[in-house]
Chain A
């Protein structure tokens, strides 16, 4: 079945450090891929997305590239800020022909210290 695996957390960085959070997936068909962010006490917000192989999603300095050959969608940011502290979720959406399930990884807690 479909599944998403994220690197284990939590991750603690200093401000302006480089961030990578790994995400790999297993799915039939051609899923769309997402990164969602959850700030304390809130619901999930879409951070970025990619709907086909080699697409690069980007938003607020974060980037991720849909790599079909390695079934990966790693999240990167060149210089993190304290305000980036949150939980980050990788997710995949199966196409309608495969049931349209939206499946999430376990989440990675990021803490950025000043």
Chain B
């Protein structure tokens, strides 16, 4: 069982370039989340989704976009990369079932914008 899979693991972007961070889960979870973790800091919520076709902004959505066309996939798009977006990005998912509150995390994508 793969769980939550993020690709790529590492990426270096030039200022102004765009890219998509991929996140896929095979647990049929309704909820999915994108976080960024800056050095020495906690996790900040970028966007989240409660199901296919539904997304909502978190604390730090500026500069990012998401889509949720299927239950499995929740890609995060950076349109015009900026140095301030250098961070480690984590995707997470969790089920909607009553009492099943644990979130499962991917291994992260380390992004550097130069």
Contacts and interface: CB of A to CB of B under 8 A. Distances in A.
Interface residues of B, number: 24
A42 B94 CA distance: 18
Nearest to B56: A99
B74 interface: no
Interface residues of A, number: 22
B35 A104 contact: yes
Nearest to B4: A43
B105 A89 contact: no
Interface string B57-101: 010000000000000000000000000000000101010100101
Interface of B: 4, 31, 33, 35, 41-43, 45, 48, 50, 56, 58, 90, 92, 94, 96, 99, 101-103, 105-108
A43 B108 contact: yes
Main secondary structure of the interface of A (DSSP, over half): strand
Contacts of B102: 34, 46, 49
A6 to B, nearest CB: 8
Interface string A25-58: 0000000101000000011111001010000000
A51 to B, nearest CB: 6
A80 interface: no
A6 B48 CA distance: 23
A89 B108 CA distance: 16
Contacts of A49: 101-102
A102 B90 CA distance: 13
Interface centre among A32, A45, A93, A102 (most CB of B within 10 A): A102
Given A93-B101, A101-B58, A102-B45, 19 more contacts: A6-B42, A32-B101, A42-B107, A42-B108, A43-B90, A43-B106, A43-B107, A43-B108, A51-B99, A51-B101, A89-B43, A100-B48, A100-B50, A101-B45, A102-B92, A102-B94, A104-B43, A105-B42, A107-B41
B18 to A, nearest CB: 25
Contacts of B106: 43
18 contacts: A34-B102, A42-B108, A43-B106, A43-B107, A44-B43, A44-B90, A44-B105, A45-B105, A49-B102, A51-B101, A100-B31, A100-B48, A101-B58, A102-B45, A102-B94, A102-B103, A105-B42, A106-B42
